[in-house]
Structure 1
Amino acid sequence: MSQDEAARNEAAHGAGAEGAPPPPPRDERPRPQYGEYAPEGWSWQPPAEQRTDAAASAAPAAPGPAAPAVGAGVRRGDAIATIILLVLGLFGAAYNALLLNLLPTVATETFRQTAEMLGTEVPGRDFVPGVQVPTLILVGTVLQLALWGIALAWSLRRLRARRLAFWVPLLMGALAFVVFYALMAQILLSDPEYARVLMGPGA
């Protein structure tokens, strides 16, 4: 090989080295345990079928017809019955309080009717209430109205909670009558002579 050919070969080798692409950069990340790293800029996308199913499941379901409230008719009937009983209870409480206040005035006539039924003699004087009677009348009047107020508040609370309430005014009404008759007996027995008529011939 002549000197000219050697020079041409060296020039060709130099040109080839200069025109060759540079080697790829070295990946400094640690080698993964399974598989290989994805190329830079690549992101995974689910198949079209899976995207459609996911969108359908995420969409809100169309609202169906509202279900009727359970026991709505029962609650309506209970509310009507409770209101009626409360109104009757108010009149009953006022009537009992009025009777307690009038009892000393009508006690003489009441005793005369009772004596005729029992076959006993009536004292020759009018009924004289004891000193404790005004206090008993006041206590009885307050209790009658208070029991009705408790029935009202308790019934409304149960109605708001959608619970049966008709039995509340019935219970309070029964308790009011017990209180009324207990106080009435105490008032009538406050006069010893008339108490003898009430207790019967053997008293």
Structure 2
Amino acid sequence: MSDPDARPRPQYGEYASESEQRAHIREPLAEPAPTPLNPPVAPMRPALSYEAAAPVDPARAARQPDRIVTIVLLVLGALNVATSFFSFLDFATMVDRSYVMMGVDGSFSNFAAGKTWGLISALVLVAGYIATVVIARGRMKANKLAWFIPIGGAIVTFVVLMACVSVPLMSDPAFVEYVTSNAS
């Protein structure tokens, strides 16, 4: 075997001690003096964060279709909330239009309950949408599947809305007459 001391000791690299490495880092190699064959070069500036290509996270890339579907469903929900909100605030008119489509004889006459429960329904609609957006956004940020959150939020909100709407309808004489006459 050869004598390890016979080899020249490197000044840097894997064989250099930690103190030699630190000394080399503090004192970089001197650059050669400029000559006609070696013109001065401007020092390189560090790359800005937006210039560096960000590494692609495969799990995030795999969730891209889920994100698109979730966002599309949330946008459709926002359109539904925007168009339905004012209908609930004018509850009597909304119910009268429904009565015409259903073939109910008469018109909605429980105005006080309709106004109260219409406002409650409008607030439930907005609260349900906001809760859905918050939960879906949280799942998307955590890189988890989220497409089913807008669907589930719509179903839960719809069930609560139907409970709110049924309160004034069940005390409206025209609706009660329609239900009892069609029950037999």
- Residue 183, structure 1, aligned to residue 164, structure 2: yes
How far the C-alpha of 1:137 sits from its partner, in A, is: 0.9
- Residue 173, structure 1, aligned to residue 154, structure 2: yes
**Whole-Å separation in 1 of the counterparts to 2:126 and 2:102:** 29
8 Å contact kept, 1:75–1:162: yes
Superposition CA RMSD, Å: 3.3
Larger Rg: 1
How far the C-alpha of 1:99 sits from its partner, in A, is: 2.9
For 1:69, the equivalent position in structure 2 comes to 57
- Residue 127, structure 1, aligned to residue 91, structure 2: no
**Whole-Å separation in 2 of the counterparts to 1:161 and 1:106:** 40
- For 1:71, what is the secondary structure of its paired residue? helix
How far the C-alpha of 1:128 sits from its partner, in A, is: 0.6
- Residue 55, structure 1, aligned to residue 11, structure 2: no
How far the C-alpha of 1:202 sits from its partner, in A, is: 4.7
8 Å contact kept, 2:136–2:150: yes
**Whole-Å separation in 1 of the counterparts to 2:100 and 2:56:** 62
How far the C-alpha of 1:197 sits from its partner, in A, is: 0.9
For 1:13, the equivalent position in structure 2 comes to none
For 2:179, the equivalent position in structure 1 comes to 198
Q: Aligned pairs, how many?
A: 143
Give every structure 1 segment of 4 or more consecutive aligned residues whose post-TM-superposition deviation is greater than 6 Å.
Answer: none
Identify if the C-alpha distance between structure 1 residues 160 and 194 changes in structure 2 by more than 3 Å, giving closer, same or farther.
closer
Deviates more, 1:80-89 or 1:183-192: 183-192
**Whole-Å separation in 2 of the counterparts to 1:148 and 1:107:** 23
Question: What are the ranges of 5 or more consecutive residues in structure 2 without an aligned counterpart?
Answer: 18-53
For 1:111, the equivalent position in structure 2 comes to 99
Identify if the C-alpha distance between structure 1 residues 96 and 71 changes in structure 2 by more than 3 Å, giving closer, same or farther.
same
8 Å contact kept, 2:91–2:118: no
TM-score by length of 1: 0.57
Same amino acid, percent of matched pairs: 22
How far the C-alpha of 1:78 sits from its partner, in A, is: 1.3
